[in-house]
Amino acid sequence: MRAPVRVVTGVVAALAVAASLAACSSDDGDASGDADLVIYTGRSEEQVGDLIDRFEEDQDVTVDVRYGDTAELAVQLLEEGDDSPADLFWAQDAGALSAVDEEGMFSTLPKGVLAKVPEEYQSRDGAWVGTSGRARVFAYNPTLVPQSELPESVFDLTEPEWANRVAIAPTNGSFQAFVTAMREAEGDDVAEQWLTDMKANGAVAYESNVLILDAVDAGEIDLGLINHYYWYQKAAEVGEDQVTAEIDFFEPGDPGSLVNVAGAGVLTSGEDNPLATEFVKFLLSPESQEYFVEVDKEYPLIDGVAPQEGLPPLAELQGPQVELYELADLEGTLQMLTETGWI
């Protein structure tokens, strides 16, 4: 009996020591204090984890990454303000970047960095720069949707024939950018009506583009709005002939064909950290751009790196008549998604 009591007291004492250690370490502020660079990114670890590892090895530094939804991290940055522990924001879409930019939370990137990317894929004031391109497409299951019935516009999807057959990812940054683009191009009323009609038409909310594509592929749902590269990733992973789902573009000029970028900007809270700019340069290096092409199946944005074979050239894609930097009203889009019951 005596021995167990002693063991128990020992364990309790050990726990107490551990607890007080925790209390001490919390005095030093956030646990990421020992990292050389802190990145908030709306891109998923699956897609960019290896690339960040490469940067860590190249520079021999430690990078802490907070993965999350693009909008979530944008909101978080705005809430944190100048106290943000983050040095750099790497978003999944231009809209969130512009929203953060509007609050003046980005410092200006060096001209040399900006010059690498065409002007339409960066902000006007040099606050952020696109790092890779992507196009909005729809994925469909050809056994459920014959070629002849494919929609021409996202506005077709509110018709009764599409009732309960369409998947969207309302918490996803790319989808939100698409909504913002629709608002810019067609007006708020049209966009809000579309969201309301989609809800009424039984469109299904998924957590992510990947899940939509999987569901379409499995025949769980007929059609879904995603980014193009998810299909190419899946095809590369399991073999093209194993993928039942196919993708197609809405007609040119349709909001559903938005061409968007993932992009990065150095936060004012990371202004003094040279590694932040270094990381943006790294993303725009040929090595990284090839990674985006080969691993993520996205469009490269610098000269000298070719896109994946079989993809239509980026310049030929025609989205709605909207500049990327105009997609800044993420707040309004989120508000609209909430009011229409999508979030």
Partner 1 sequence: MLPSLLAVLVALLPVVYLFVRASEAGPQGWLEVLARPRTWELVGNTLLLAVLVTAATLIGGVPTAWLLARAQLRGRAVWAALMALPLAVPSYVAAFVWVSGPLRLSGLFGAWMVLTLSTMPLVILPTVAAFRRGDRGHEEVARGLGLGPWRTAWRVTIPQALPAASAGALLAFLYVLFDFGAVSILRYETLTRAVFATYRASFDRSATATLALLLVVLTVAAVAAEQLLRGRARKHRVGAGAPRPLGGVSLGRWAPVAYGWLSFVAVLGVGVPAASLTYYTVIGRQRSVDFPELLGAMSATVWLSLLGAAVTVLLAIPVGVLLARYPGRRAMVVEQLSYAGHALPGIVVGLGLVFFALTVAPGLYQTTAIVVLAYAVLFLPKAIGATRTAVASAPPVLDDVARSLGRSSWGAIRSVTLPLAAPGVLAGGLLVLLTAMKELPATLILRPTGVDTLATELWTRTTVGAYSAAAPFAAALVIVAAIPASWLARASDRVSEEEL
Partner 2 sequence: MTDVVIEGVTKRFGAVVALDDVTLAVPDGTLTAILGPSGCGKTTLLRVVAGFERPDSGRVRLGDRQVAGSGSAEVPPERRRVGLVPQESALFPHLDVAGNVGFGLPRKQRQTRVRDLLELVGLPGFERRRPHELSGGEQARVALARALAPKPEVVLLDEPFAALDAALRAEIRDDVRQVLQATAATGVLVTHDQEEALSMADHVAVMRRGRVIQMATPVDVYGSPVDLEVAQFVGDGVSFAVVARDGVASTPLGELRLRNGASGPGVVLVRPEQLRLAAAGATGEVSNVVFYGHDAVVQVVMPEGDMVSVRVTAPVEVQAGDVVRLSVTGAAHFYPKA
Tokens standing for residue 236: 């590369």
Max Cα distance, the chain (Å): 82
> Smallest distance, Å, CB 184 to partner 1?
18
Determine if 200 is a binding residue for partner 1 (CB under 8 A): no
Gap between the Cα atoms of 77 and 84, Å rounded: 6
How far, rounded to the nearest angstrom, does the alpha carbon of residue 187 sit from its chain's CA centroid?
A: 24
Gap between the Cα atoms of 171 and 178, Å rounded: 12
Tokens 């720069």 belong to 129
> Smallest distance, Å, CB 319 to partner 1?
23
Determine if 24 is a binding residue for partner 2 (CB under 8 A): no
CB atoms within 10 A of CB 118: 14
Stretch that binds partner 1, among 8-16, 243-251, 290-298, 309-317 (CB under 8 A): 8-16
Report the site for partner 1 in 227-286 (rule: CB under 8 A): 237
Gap between the Cα atoms of 282 and 81, Å rounded: 26
Determine if 294 is a binding residue for partner 1 (CB under 8 A): no
Determine if 3 is a binding residue for partner 2 (CB under 8 A): no
Residues 69/177, Cβ–Cβ less than 8 Å:
no
Determine if 224 is a binding residue for partner 1 (CB under 8 A): no
Determine if 176 is a binding residue for partner 1 (CB under 8 A): yes
Segment 244-248 long-range contacts (CB within 8 Å, at least 24 positions apart):
244/141, 244/142, 244/143, 244/217, 244/219, 245/139, 245/140, 245/141, 245/142, 245/213, 245/216, 245/217, 246/139, 246/140, 246/141, 246/142, 247/137, 247/138, 247/139, 247/140, 248/137, 248/138, 248/140, 248/150
Q: Which of 60, 83, 189, 316 binds partner 1 (CB under 8 A)?
A: 83
By three-state DSSP, how is residue 168 classified? Answer: strand
229-to-143, 144, 295, 326 alpha-carbon distances in Å: 22, 22, 10, 24
* Binding partner of 240, given partner 2, partner 1, none, CB within 5-8 angstroms per partner class: none
Q: Which of 64, 184, 222, 298 binds partner 1 (CB under 8 A)?
A: 64
Report the site for partner 1 in 107-166 (rule: CB under 8 A): none
Stretch that binds partner 2, among 1-9, 201-209, 213-221, 242-250 (CB under 8 A): 1-9
> Smallest distance, Å, CB 323 to partner 1?
22
Toward partner 1, which CB reaches closer, 88 or 317? Answer: 88
Toward partner 2, which CB reaches closer, 1 or 22? Answer: 1
Contact positions toward partner 1, by CB under 8 A? 4-5, 8-9, 11-12, 15-16, 18-19, 22-23, 25-27, 29-32, 35, 38, 40, 44-46, 64-69, 71-72, 75, 78-80, 83, 85-86, 170-171, 176, 204-208, 210-211, 213-215, 218, 220, 237, 330-331, 334-335, 337-339, 341, 343
